[in-house]
Structure 1
């Protein structure tokens, strides 16, 4: 029997990038299927979240993401540009964002077309690996789309034509995420149990094994 789980995931989350290679290998090697549900990052959903953080939260976060990438053997650099625009003069996140809404809508559409994991992996590598400057320009995202097995021109046109519908899909996923037990990303929900954080992958796989995870 194929086991299934929900993945709540954000293009602005370095930890979301860091879990992707393990999820793709999991699905390649085992009879398990991911229901990809991209969501908007906290900076877009609830930007006030960051107003109440102790300064140590940010300094630890920045140290940890680089250390974790090194530990996992992943290339990593903070994106240029950041997928979420911040007004540095006011240190606020404007509602009008140039990148994150379209990226997330693209992720939702890729999931509908059966290429969710592939798309999230290829695009997050483009944004977070440090191999590309100005990832939002030229054909970087189009190339990632093609590597995910989708036709870039047709795919982009569909996103443009269905952005309102895709936004509703994303908002529904955000509601489902909280109902599943957490608000952060990456978050896996399996059998009514949430696993928050890329560092819970091993526990998630352990739980799958308890439920009969089988090799392909």
Structure 2
């Protein structure tokens, strides 16, 4: 029996990136199906969110992301440019965002085409592994999308034509995410049970084994 779970995931989340390669490996080895449900980052959903967090929050985040990447053996560096443009003086986020809506809507479209996890894996590596400065320039993104079996130019044309529909689908994902039991990412929901954070992957797999996880 194929096991299935929902994955709530954001392009601005380093922890989403850090769990993705393990989810890809899980699906390659076991009879598991991932339903990708892209969501917008909290900075887009609530533009003043980071203006009100304790100053220690961001420093710890950076330290923990670097440590988690080293522990997992996964290279990680904050993307250049940041997928979400930030006003550093106020620690808020302007409404005009040149990157995150396109990335998120492309991810939603890839999920609808059954290539969601492959798309997240390829594009998050481009953004987060530190190998490229200016991921948005040249043919970097097109090559990453191509490695997931998709065509960026064709997808961009669909996004331009169906932007409102894709945006509505992402907003619906965000509502379903809360029903699933959490507001953060990455969130894996398996048989109604939420597993929040990249450090819950082992518990997710443990629960799946209890439910009959089988090798392909």
- 1:23-51 CA distance string (max 9 Å, x none): 00000000000000000000001233323
Q: TM-score, normalised by structure 1?
A: 0.98
How many corresponding residue pairs? 216
CA deviation vs aligned residue, 1:155-184 (integer Å, no higher than 9, x gap) = 221112111110000000000001111000
Residue 36 (structure 1) aligned with residue 36 (structure 2): yes
Question: In 2, Cα distance between the equivalents of 1:27 and 1:188?
Answer: 14
Q: Which residue of 2 aligns with 1:145?
A: 145
- TM-fit CA distance, 1:139: 1.2
Aligned 1:171-210 pairs, distance under 5 A: 171-210=171-210
Give the whole-Å Cα distance in 1 for the aligned partners of 2:51 and 2:87. 14
Residue in 2 that maps onto 1:60:
60
Cross-structure match for 1:131: 131
- What TM-score does the superposition give when structure 2 sets the normalisation length? 0.98
Structure 1 residue runs of 4 or more that deviate by more than 4 Å after TM superposition: none
Structure 2, unaligned runs of 5 or more: none
Equivalent-residue separation in structure 1 for 2:51 and 2:150 (angstroms) = 39
Q: Give the 3-state SS of the residue equivalent to 2:195 in structure 1.
A: strand
Alignment match, 2:162: 162
- 1:138 is displaced (CA, Å) by 1.1
SS in 2 for 1:150: coil
Whole-angstrom CA distance in 2 between matches of 1:29 and 1:200: 19
RMSD between aligned alpha carbons?
A: 0.9
